[in-house]
Amino acid sequence: MRKIEIFDTTLRDGEQSAGVNLNSIEKLEIAKQLERLGVDVIEAGFPAASKGDLESVKLIASTVKGSSVTGLARCHPKDIDAAWEALKQSAEPRVHVFLATSPIHRQFKLKMTQDEVIERAVEAVQYAKKKFAKVQFSAEDACRTEREFLARVTEAVIRAGATVVNIPDTVGYITPKEIKDLFGYLSSHVPNIDQAILSAHCHDDLGMATANSLAAIEGGAGQVEGTINGIGERAGNVALEEVAVALHIRSDCYQASTDMKLNEIKRTSHLVSKLTGMIVPANKAVIGDNAFAHESGIHQDGVLKEKTTYEIITPELIGVNSNKLVLGKHSGRHAFKNKAAELGFELTEEKVNEAFQTFKDLADKKKEITDEDLFSILADKQTETTDVAHYALNMIQVQYGTEHIPTATVSVTLPDGKEVTEAATGSGSVEAIYNTLERLLEGPVKLHDYKINSVSGGRDALAEVYVRVRYNETESSGRGTAQDVLEASARAYLNAVNRVLTLEAQQKERQKAQV
């Protein structure tokens, strides 16, 4: 069995998904789970992009030890310096530099010749190599680059010290047959290829990212890059869980394996979906809610007689827990704490107590508390940031009737501690709440997106609302969970605004530190 390295870019390419913005606490929580999942490399961000990115890469690099942590950099010394600043404390400092190589990018974006591209790439790799033990070079848009030129670039950056050469299908254009040929060609035409690992990085614009990544492995790739749930730019990146499970189930065909702990897949997928607000479609391969549901009579009959008639992946393989009923209203703090640990949460004593109280309140109203409910409560508590003065919801009351104008009355505590109450109308209940909140906040809030999801099944399920807003010239997303959809809506809106306040406070802190 060949070992395939897994390079996870959920926190960099995945975070580039439209509407996703994670704060550093959420990124750290995902990074810790990726470490548990057993990925080899975590791309934690793009340190030169912003001070916030640099700080979160630094936080992850100094916390995570079981996976190697890396950061993206353009071929500029200042980007590589920023990456070094963020990554120098990591167990195995590693940087990921990139430069486009395709004729389209050379002509229209870079305005550089082939020789200039090679020169810039080599200089950047040499510069990075003075600081980092591991240097990965990516030839952006490699799959639309002339093969001979791509082979020259690959040889030159390996000579300059690159330990991994990544061949991205940046626009999701290539086909499985072509990518297998391309990796085969590079493996046989680059004279020093034995000194580096070839890596595949496939986007899913034509829905071929998984097939392409597997074909690249057949062609000689030793590393696959992707994201959890396949999130990422446009149609996203390859879903790593699909690649790992395919290699496992079809090891007879690929003769390759990963170090990923497959039974951590469901939890990782759940956490990424919850924190990014990108809901996983029910029919998504491996992780969708229907992935193990057998609906037709013929299939059910077959599965009852012999599971393997229609089931090639068992739910247990990816960590789906079939025993869903867990704690009830009489469960104590000790059982709750054990369950939190079993679900993978390491909370401080204070946070356990707060989460336990939320659980007790919910248990009074909801008949059955499922793993999903607990996961939601615990993930919210773990990623909550209350260190910056923020808006807090105290009370909400809505009047609605098909013959009446919806009217909301809302009371919040302002960042300065003052409690205020307002009322407003809207064309629907949610709009009435948002119009009221807007009156209570300083400055206008523009709502760009609103999504609602039920955490588990049943009439009394928890509601989870995701919003995307623009407040104080900043794009922000927020999420809120409650048993009532209107309360969850109000919480999500305030959460998005509070994230902007946190960002502004962090920026002020940094400016103060620079003076």
Q: Where do contacts with ligand KIV occur on this chain (CB under 6 A)?
A: 13, 98, 138, 140, 166, 168, 170, 201, 203
- Which amino acid, residue 368? E
Residue 138 binds what, of Zn ion, ligand KIV, none (CB under 5 to 8 Å, by partner type)?
ligand KIV
Pick between residue 13 and residue 15 the one whose CB is nearest to Zn ion.
13
Cα distance between residue 275 and residue 382, in whole Å:
11
Q: How far is the CB of 337 from ligand KIV (least distance, A)?
A: 40
State how far Cα 364 lies from the chain centre. Answer: 33
Q: How far is the CB of 202 from ligand KIV (least distance, A)?
A: 9
Restricting to residues 2-21, which ones interact with Zn ion according to CB under 5 A?
Answer: 13
What would the 3-class secondary structure string for 373-438 be?
Answer: HHHHHHHHHHCCCCCCCCCEEEEEEEECCCCCCCEEEEEEECCCCCEEEEEEECCCHHHHHHHHHH
Pick between residue 230 and residue 319 the one whose CB is nearest to Zn ion.
230
Residue 101 binds what, of ligand KIV, Zn ion, none (CB under 5 to 8 Å, by partner type)?
none
Q: How far is the CB of 235 from Zn ion (least distance, A)?
A: 11
Pick between residue 143 and residue 160 the one whose CB is nearest to ligand KIV.
143
Pick between residue 168 and residue 406 the one whose CB is nearest to ligand KIV.
168
Q: How far is the CB of 108 from ligand KIV (least distance, A)?
A: 16
Residue 436 binds what, of Zn ion, ligand KIV, none (CB under 5 to 8 Å, by partner type)?
none
Restricting to residues 309-328, which ones interact with Zn ion according to CB under 5 A?
Answer: none
Pick between residue 138 and residue 383 the one whose CB is nearest to ligand KIV.
138
Pick between residue 96 and residue 390 the one whose CB is nearest to ligand KIV.
96
At 362, list the tokens.
């919910």
Residue 319 binds what, of ligand KIV, Zn ion, none (CB under 5 to 8 Å, by partner type)?
none
At 442, list the tokens.
């300083």
Residue 98 binds what, of ligand KIV, Zn ion, none (CB under 5 to 8 Å, by partner type)?
ligand KIV
Of the chain, the end-to-end C-alpha distance in Å amounts to 56
Pick between residue 169 and residue 241 the one whose CB is nearest to ligand KIV.
169
Cα distance between residue 232 and residue 209, in whole Å:
12
Cα distance between residue 225 and residue 220, in whole Å:
14
Pick between residue 231 and residue 398 the one whose CB is nearest to Zn ion.
231
Cα distance between residue 492 and residue 186, in whole Å:
49
Q: How far is the CB of 172 from ligand KIV (least distance, A)?
A: 9
| Cβ-proximal residues to 279 (8 Å cutoff; 6+ apart), any chain | 273, 451, 453
Q: How far is the CB of 468 from ligand KIV (least distance, A)?
A: 23
Q: Is 43 one of the binding residues for Zn ion (CB under 5 A)?
A: no
| Cβ-proximal residues to 478 (8 Å cutoff; 6+ apart), any chain | 466, 467, 469, 492, 493, 494, 495, 496, 497, 498, 499
What is the spatial order of strands in the sheet that 419-425 belongs to?
Answer: 392-399, 407-413, 419-425
Mode of pairing for the β-strands spanning 419-425 and 407-413: antiparallel
Q: How far is the CB of 138 from ligand KIV (least distance, A)?
A: 4
Residue 152 binds what, of Zn ion, ligand KIV, none (CB under 5 to 8 Å, by partner type)?
none
Q: How far is the CB of 12 from Zn ion (least distance, A)?
A: 8
Q: For the packed helices 24-37 and 371-382, what is the interaxial angle rounded to 10 degrees?
A: 130
Q: Is 225 one of the binding residues for Zn ion (CB under 5 A)?
A: no
Pick between residue 134 and residue 266 the one whose CB is nearest to ligand KIV.
134
Q: How far is the CB of 269 from ligand KIV (least distance, A)?
A: 21
**484 by DSSP, 3-state: which?**
coil
Of 102, 113, 93, 104, give the one whose Cα is nearest residue 47: 93
Residue 172 binds what, of Zn ion, ligand KIV, none (CB under 5 to 8 Å, by partner type)?
none
Of 110, 8, 25, 4, give the one whose Cα is nearest residue 498: 25
Residue 284 binds what, of ligand KIV, Zn ion, none (CB under 5 to 8 Å, by partner type)?
none
Which chain residues interact with Zn ion by CB under 5 A? Answer: 13
